[in-house]
Amino acid sequence: MKAQIILTLAIVAVSLLLTAGCMGDAKVKKEAETKAFEEKGLNIVNSTKSLLVTNLMKAMSAHGTAVAVEFCSVHAITLTDSIAEVHDAKIRRVTDRPRNPANQANETELAYINMLKLKEEKQEALPPSILIVDGKMTGYYPIQTAKMCLQCHGNTGTDLLPETATKIASLYPDDKATGYGENQLRGLFVVEMN
């Protein structure tokens, strides 16, 4: 009887160890998948940024910042969609302070933006995040202002030229996307990956 109890306890212990090992393997696998999606999303975001910045710089060099605002209002979504198609993904830029109302962050995105703002206040790194949303891996990647961005997103009177401010007001009468400083969180790239 005693041998049977010891054998039963040994079987239970081995089963628990195997289960824990499998659960640990599943966790490691899940972390690896998440990291792979994070890197894939970052590649997509970097491709998108590069294409947008290159085209915006060309427009600014050729015609000035005010005309570049108009270029951006017409072409930014098309350029972003072209990268999305190449990568079989969906890419959006969202913010809590949109210039274009179509870029207003939803509740989940706003929660992440607010969490990043707390990190920003503490001068901590602003990490991306990967979540499963509606069955798709969705990456949230912070957008921070560079010096160049301030020409359209900085402070009126110091960073924005009067003609740029006038163009923004004519194209976006409800604009909320000015008043930023350099290296400040402006929003998120949201990348939905299959």
pLDDT confidence bin for 1, thresholds 50/70/90: low
Segment 109-114 mean pLDDT: 96
Distance, first Cα to last Cα, the chain: 56
pLDDT confidence bin for 22, thresholds 50/70/90: low
Residues facing 192 on adjacent strands = 90, 138
Count the neighbouring beta carbons within 10 Å of the beta carbon of residue 45. Answer: 22
Residues facing 190 on adjacent strands = 92, 140
Q: Could you report the per-residue pLDDT of 144-163, keeping only the tens digit for each?
A: 999 999 999 999 889 999 99
pLDDT confidence bin for 31, thresholds 50/70/90: confident
Q: Which of 94 and 67 is assigned the larger pLDDT?
A: 94
pLDDT (0 to 100) of residue 135: 83
137 within 8 A of 178, measured Cβ to Cβ: no
Segment 2-24 mean pLDDT: 51
131 within 8 A of 38, measured Cβ to Cβ: no
User: Whole-structure pTM over 0.75, yes or no?
Assistant: yes
- Which positions ≥6 away from 161 have C-beta within 8 Å? 65, 66, 151
Q: Is residue 10's pLDDT more than 80? A: no
**Residue environment code for 158-194, b if the CB has 16+ CB neighbours within 10 A, otherwise e:** ebbeeebbebbeeebeebebbebeeebbbbbbbbbbe
**Whole-angstrom Cα distance, residue 188 to residue 194?**
19
